[in-house]
Structure 1
């Protein structure tokens, strides 16, 4: 073996008999960097990504592998909400470079419903989420951040009521009542001004 390579062993899968796992020896350059993935969709320069939680609404995430010599057997994707809940999204072949998934369909598997929140997507290989970083092997990626929202059903304006408004603020939501109160107040102010002027005029002739 040349001086600039180091031997590494990667498990490629179970043997045909199902008893033991077969292994393949691969050569990783001693100068190799830590392996990883670079997110390509959404682009790093794109605006914040918001996705709808609804039927037939699909999300596509894509990536490229860099400095990965030991091709993973599988990739696991898990979304973590800012509130703390985690959602297993999928486990896909290690050679995959994108995933198309639906938050709505994930919910149908019995997981806790997605909240309208910001999420971080974690992607790791078959070594697990706590695998030690190693040259030539894929490191866990937690660089994909996105947001999910749930569309609200349409409500006609004429049937809308403000459930959180106080009695005072409800006046402002009734144009007729607001006009009546405004007119009455203007009349009272005008009448009071006339009475003051009339009283002041009489006093000046004494």
Structure 2
């Protein structure tokens, strides 16, 4: 009997001991608050290394972009005292007194560039007519190596929506990225417009007895006939007076 009581008391003591341990751990956790997981020193060093590497990469990229922009800027730098680029005509010669182009034939234009520091990516060649204010295309998107064009006036006239007029034209050679009336900067191609030429259309043959002068005036012809008659009459009177004087 005594042995049974002793065993029962031991069980109670053990049960009380195990039940108090979780409570004490729970109370300790409540007093200290939630605990964050510790960060190892290796992770901190790795993070710092990544940040430093990113900073160096950003600095290197910025320096590269700045150097690249500086290179591009310096590659197109032109002395502001330099004159604009120009065109020197070879065919037809600018010294020629008059130049005429007959519709139906081929017209050749050739030239050289002068004082050109910045090469245009493309050049247009056009003929401007002041009567209808129209730029007739001769050649488009030429390179600076292409310094001669041959204009097929017959082929153009057959397919053109705006046909060539019998009139005077001004030849324009200019940078395709600009316009014919632009003011060029130093070293850049200035629009050329110093060549004036005439364009005419040949007329069909007309017999002389059927020809009528389009620029002649009927009133002028009448005056001319009257003057001729007066001149003949005065000549005849002069002759009569001369004969009478000689007969005396």
Q: TM-score with structure 1 length normalisation?
A: 0.62
1:115-167: CA deviation from partner (whole Å, max 9, x where unpaired)? 11111111111222154411111011111111111111112224x15386759
Q: 1:118 aligns with which of 168, 173, 176?
A: 168
Query: In proportion to residue count, which structure has more helix?
Result: 2
Residue aligning to 1:139: 190
1:83 aligns with 2:134: no
Aligned with 1:28: secondary structure?
A: coil
Structure that is richer in strand per residue: 1
- 1:157 paired with 2:208, answer yes
CA RMSD of aligned residues (A): 3.5
The gaps in structure 1 that reach 5 residues or longer are: 1-5, 10-23, 173-181, 187-206
**Which of 48, 62, 68 lines up with 2:110 in the alignment?**
62
Q: What is the total number of aligned residue pairs between the two structures? A: 156
Asked if 1 retains the 8 angstrom alpha-carbon contact of 2:94 and 2:195, the reply is no
Q: Tell me, in whole angstroms, the C-alpha distance in 1 between the residues paired with 2:133 and 2:173.
A: 16
- Report the 3-state secondary structure (helix = DSSP H, G, I; strand = E; otherwise coil) of the residue aligned with 2:131: coil
Point out which structure has higher relative CO (alpha carbons under 8 A, 6+ apart).
Answer: 1
- The verdict on how the C-alpha distance between 1:166 and 1:44 changes in structure 2, with shifts beyond 3 A counting, is closer
Which stretches in structure 2 are left out of the alignment for 5+ residues? Answer: 1-69, 234-248
